[in-house]
Amino acid sequence: MDAIEKKFIPQLDSSVESVQRMVLRQLQTHHENTGRSWRGHVAECEELENTAAQQAADIAALSNHNAQLQAANERWRKLFMSWQTVGARLRSLREWIAWQRARVLAGASVLVMGAVIWNFYGPGTGPAAVAERQKVERALNAMAANWQWGEGETEPQVHPVAGLAYWVIGRGYTETDLHADASGQPVEMHCIQIYAKPAVADSGAYLKPASRTAPFGSFSWPERATSCRPSTIRKAEK
């Protein structure tokens, strides 16, 4: 709508018919002189309406985006506050440790000294205990060397070992990758592993310890001795 139209169009509201006709003639003349038309005027109005609708949509999108930014900012603010809290607690802990450092170091020294004393002077470290362990190890090595070889694992049985009762399991297996003869040819070895645990007497019998651990069923007894011989010397016997 140009300046002439803005001047004359409001006068169409006049109740005087002659005024209305005069205004229409003026507008018609103006349209002929400027190339404008009522259809063009309607098109301009529609374009203005579309532009207003688009601007309203843009404003709504910007408002929504602003709300998202505000929510993100609030999340970051809370996270920053939580990290500030963590930092304050860490600083308090560091100050407490610094204040208690002498006590902590003294306590650690006592623990280390106790561990050293236990290692060298605790139960089982005396000459008699060491000699007893060595005696048991020699007996178990001799048992492995004299064990009748057989593929697989025996049932647990109680055996006398250096005058003591031990639960013993023998496991026989074949090894083919670690030995060779003078010509470089592989030598098959028959090996025995001895697993043993002290037997605890109870009511005229022995408490039988579990040899497998749950849930995977892996072997739990300690391996105490191993002996391997070429298969030509140690024949497999069941």
Q: What is the share, in percent, of the chain residues with pLDDT greater than 70?
A: 84
Alpha carbon 83 to its chain's center: 22
Give the Cα separation of 204 and 190 in Å (integer). 37
Q: How much is the CA Rg of the chain, to the nearest whole Å?
A: 50
CB atoms within 10 A of CB 81: 10
pLDDT of residue 228: 93
Distance separating alpha carbons of residues 228 and 189, to the nearest angstrom: 6
Q: What is the DSSP letter of 24?
A: H
Q: In whole angstroms, how far apart are CA 163 and each of 74, 107, 173?
A: 77, 43, 28
Q: Are 192 and 170 in contact (CB under 8 A)?
A: yes
**CA–CA dist 86, 84 (Å, integer):** 5
**Residue 106 DSSP SS3:** helix
Kindly report the average pLDDT of the chain as a whole number.
82
Pairing label, strands 200-202, 223-230: unpaired
Residue 238: pLDDT band with limits 50, 70, 90: very low
Token pair for residue 142? 């001799």
Collapsed DSSP state (helix, strand, coil) of residue 183: coil
Tens-digit pLDDT profile for residues 206-219: 998 888 876 667 77
Of 174, 175, 172, which is closest to residue 148 (Cα–Cα)? Answer: 172
87 or 169, higher pLDDT: 169
Mean pLDDT score, 189-201: 93
Q: What is the pLDDT of residues 28-71, one digit of tens each?
A: 887 888 888 877 778 888 888 888 888 888 898 898 888 888 88
Element (H, E) at 173: strand 164-175
The length of the chain, given as a count of residues: 238
What's the pLDDT band for 199 if we cut at 50, 70, 90? Answer: very high
pTM equals 0.46
Q: Does 125 score more than 70 pLDDT?
A: no
Task: State yes or no: pLDDT of 174 exceeds 90.
Answer: yes
| Residue pLDDT, tens place only, 88-97 | 888 887 777 7
**Total Cβ atoms within 10 A of residue 234:** 19
Weakest mean pLDDT among 16-25, 75-84, 116-125:
116-125
